[in-house]
Amino acid sequence: MIRRALIALGSNIDPERNLPAAAARLAAHPDIEVAAASGVYESPPLGRPGDPCFHNAAVEVETSLAPAELRAELRRLEAEMGRVRGDDRYAPRPIDLDLAAYEGFAGDVDGSPVPDPEILERAFLALPLAEVAPDWHDPALGRSLGEIAASFDAARERVRRLPGRGLGWPPGA
């Protein structure tokens, strides 16, 4: 069965190269079809003020993979792109791929809740997700992504959409 899922992408090591490369790798996967991609948002790093800013984006995909299988593929792609997971959850990284939401599923996937409750707390997560799926309404979140994104003051949160910057998806965009 084909399901929709939302994937959050982030990078603060060569993000101009790594975010589009991650979107292309997702699109090349035989069990994942990228349906929509957001623009790129910039935000300061959490917990490490001296580090480079993060660039964040989101894609909506259609997939035959179950939530745990999709999460495993995201971790595999991260590792292929040089991501090393350590104890510091705020460490700089070439790529971060998170399963933010999965159609018809609410629960735990390998220790992480889906949908991601941080959507309600982090503008850098909510804004790109709302750009690709503003009407996505997950009962666990209680509101649509568009409503959640509208509740943030992007300037106060220090999140800005980078003009003219996208993931290069669809190709040629």
- Classify residue 91: in a domain, yes or no: yes
User: SS3 sequence, 4-56?
Assistant: EEEEEEEECCCHHHHHHHHHHHHHHCCCEEEEEECEEEEECCCCCCCCCCEEE
Q: Give catalytic residues, as residue numbers.
A: 83, 93, 96, 98
What is the band of 170 on the pLDDT scale with cuts at 50, 70, 90?
Answer: low
Domain that holds residue 121: 3-165
CA distance 12 to 22: 13
- Classify residue 173: in a domain, yes or no: no
- Classify residue 171: in a domain, yes or no: no
- Classify residue 170: in a domain, yes or no: no
Does residue 167 register a pLDDT over 80? Answer: no
Domain containing 49 — which CATH number? 3.30.70.560
Per-residue pLDDT reduced to its tens digit, 61-95: 999 999 999 999 999 999 999 877 766 666 678 89
| Per-residue pLDDT, 146 | 96
| Per-residue pLDDT, 90 | 65
- Classify residue 59: in a domain, yes or no: yes
User: What sign does the CA torsion over 30, 6, 127, 16 have?
Assistant: negative
Q: How many domains does the chain have?
A: 1
SS3 57: strand
- Classify residue 67: in a domain, yes or no: yes
Does residue 27 register a pLDDT over 70? Answer: yes
